[in-house]
Chain A
Amino acid sequence: MKIAVCVKHAVDESELKIDPSGKPLLEGAASKMGTFDKNAVEEALRVKASAGGEVVAVTVGRADARKSLKEALAMGADRGVHVLAELGALDPPKTAGLLAAALAKTGPYDIVLCSEGSSDTYTGLVPPMVAERLGVPYVGYARKLELAGRALKAERSLEESLESVESPLPAVVSVVSEINEPRYPTLIQIMQASKKPVEELRPEQLAAGDAAPPTAVLSMAAQPQNRKHVMIEGTPDEAASKLLDALVKEGVLQP
């Protein structure tokens, strides 16, 4: 089984600073592997553990994206593919084009795993675009994945329902974070990860097309969340009725 897992070196949202005008300070911000991408790597390793084969971690990004690739290698991926490219602020078609071309060049793969979305921009657009470019089925938002021969069974986590689907392989699967608990690499695995092979590709080596982005980012701003911090005091009975009054007054509950 040849397994690919796509990872993004994303802005670390937990350390992101916002300037007084509400603009996120993306230049020089701390970065890390996308939070949910770890679930995709974990699932790839689990597929390998049950079906055998090889896990290849693939990323598109600047030189520092190598860090995320290395993290995937520390977790247990066998080798890496790094498409060295400068990406615009928000250009999923370009990312998907480069990823698909890199997967085609270094593949073919039986299964391509992605996360539901990156933890910074979270468009969730890249996985279906990659599937479309590769011409294979796409199974999105899997919270359970099983392989049986040349087919897969997945449980998709949709907003209000679960959906069980089957698909032939090869396929692209995006996973949600509840699918597994990503492992922590041991320190020795982290140290040895730098010895695993990483293939570097440049966009000009990949026939990925060079279309202008279909969208343009006009502005980006943090969404302020103002909380009221109302303290309700009294005995449980008194507090409950005060809470009820407060919720009605706020329009949360109808009297």
Chain B
Amino acid sequence: MPLFSAEHRFLLKSFYPSAHEEYSELLGSLGAFMEKELAPMSEKFDAGREAIAPYRRKLLEGGFCQIPFPEKYGGLGLPFAVYANAIELLGAADASIALSVEIHNAVAEGVFRFGSEEQRSKLLPALTSGKRLASFALTESASGSDARNVRTVARLSGGEYLINGSKTFITNAGEADLYMVFARTEKGPSCFLVDAPNPGIRLGAHMAKLGMRGSKTSEVTFEDCRVPRQNLVGVEGQGIDYATQILHGARIIVAALNVGIATLAYGKAVAYARQRSAFGKPISEFQLTREKVADMKTGINAGRLMYLYASLLKESGADFSSEAAQAKVFATEMSLKVCDAAIQVYGGYGYTTDEVHRPWRDARLLTIGEGTSEVLRLLIASRELAKAA
């Protein structure tokens, strides 16, 4: 089955009756590219035998990141749901590239929503066309979920800020040309754009990870890192509010990414179950295998509808933070279950075959990254209880 399937086409047709053909054409073309150029490389990316950078560049040059931004800034002006759907396909093709691109484009969204007109027109065309790669530097060793506690500081000195502090678990570290950094000024946590290379940026060693091994992750330390005053994003003291809003959108994308990973694992499991025999018949004939197939597919379809629903809310301008968190919690936990079931269907070969356990290892990150399931459940509950009050 092609990455962009009849199921996707049907949903787009239902949501966008007048424009679905164009969207399907674009996503079909992207899917064909990913299937041929990216998916066959996944094993090598995972094993560190091939770097994702040239492949990611080729994808971005094709216009992937331009999808949700207005034409004025070099974008294609297409709905957020189309972008989310594209990320789902990318998650199925290669989760490491999808993660790297998701974070890159979340920074672009931050520039678009909170940057000055000058920052937008200067940065967005370069970011969305892949000429520059971005990284999002919020998390610190002592503040993950409680981002308000950010300890990195930015001190105004002459015409520039001096940033000091350390960020950890930074995706695209070392590869990025631009870091969106959250640091505390007198007025509170604030958002800065730091160009790289910069003599004030020091990179830690690449972290060995359970999954998402194609993407680069490390600590990034700022030591008297000089940043021109005009690289402040928005208003001083509003940084956490910006980060929160960027992350609401990014959660929809992470949900889509996980639906993609789950689709990959599901496809493998079903194909294997049909051809592997035990006790004289294919294991797909056994009821306990069938239960797995049913639960996997049900979860995938539910996850897809949830991220599309949150995307549509976002496009409409309504508050979508609870729905984005719901989609992320559900899709990441669902994808982990689907990937786990796929290993189970494969039996011993699941535990020993890279292409079967890689989706599980990749999916495992995302009940933690970009908002843990625990924190997001608190968010959902507080939003929903407030609505009921």
Contacts and interface: CB of A to CB of B under 8 A. Distances in A.
A184 B62 contact: yes
A191 B62 CA distance: 12
A187 B66 contact: yes
What size tier do the contact residues of chain A reach?
A: 10 to 19
A76 B66 CA distance: 20
A191 B22 contact: yes
Nearest to B63: A187
A74 B62 CA distance: 12
Contacts of B63: 186-188
B324 interface: no
A15 B64 contact: no
Contacts of A168: none
A93 B175 CA distance: 57
A185 B76 contact: no
Nearest to A187: B63
A191 B29 CA distance: 11
Contact of A190 (B26, B37, B61): B26
A14 interface: yes
Nearest to B59: A184
Contacts of B29: 74, 184-185, 187, 190
B55 interface: no
Give the dominant DSSP class at B's interface. Answer: helix
A15 B2 contact: yes
Contact of B66 (A15, A67, A74, A188): A188
B67 A184 contact: no
A128 to B, nearest CB: 30
Contacts, number: 33
Contacts of B61: 186
A184 B61 CA distance: 11
A74 B63 CA distance: 13
A35 to B, nearest CB: 11
Nearest to B36: A184
Contacts of B67: 187
B2 A191 contact: no
Give the dominant DSSP class at A's interface. Answer: helix
Contacts of B93: none
A68 to B, nearest CB: 12
Contacts of A188: 63, 66, 76
A7 to B, nearest CB: 16
B25 A190 contact: yes
Interface in A7-44: 14-15
B64 A14 contact: no
Interface string B27-44: 001101100010000000
A74 B61 CA distance: 15
Contacts of A15: 2
A186 to B, nearest CB: 5
Contacts of B25: 67, 70, 190
Contacts of A190: 25-26, 29
Interface string B48-69: 0000000000000111101100
Interface in A213-241: none
Contact of A184 (B2, B22, B33): B33
B76 A187 contact: yes
A186 B62 contact: yes
Given A184-B33, A187-B30, A14 B2 contact: yes
Nearest to B6: A30
Interface in B272-321: none
A67 B33 CA distance: 18
Nearest to A70: B25
A217 B32 CA distance: 32
Interface string A39-83: 000000000000000000000000000010010001000000000
Interface string B75-87: 0100000000000
A70 B24 CA distance: 14
Contacts of A187: 26, 29-30, 62-64, 66-67, 76
B25 to A, nearest CB: 6
Contacts of B37: 184
A17 B66 CA distance: 36
Interface string A187-227: 11011001000000000000000000000000000000000
A191 B26 contact: yes
Contacts of A191: 22, 26, 76
25 contacts: A14-B2, A15-B2, A67-B25, A74-B29, A184-B29, A184-B32, A184-B33, A184-B37, A184-B62, A185-B29, A186-B61, A186-B62, A186-B63, A187-B26, A187-B29, A187-B30, A187-B62, A187-B63, A187-B64, A187-B67, A188-B76, A190-B25, A190-B26, A191-B26, A194-B22
Closest 5 CB pairs of A and B: A187-B63, A186-B63, A186-B62, A184-B33, A187-B26
Interface of A: 14-15, 67, 70, 74, 184-188, 190-191, 194
Given A70-B25, A184-B37, 10 more contacts: A184-B33, A184-B62, A185-B29, A187-B26, A187-B62, A187-B64, A187-B67, A188-B63, A190-B25, A191-B22
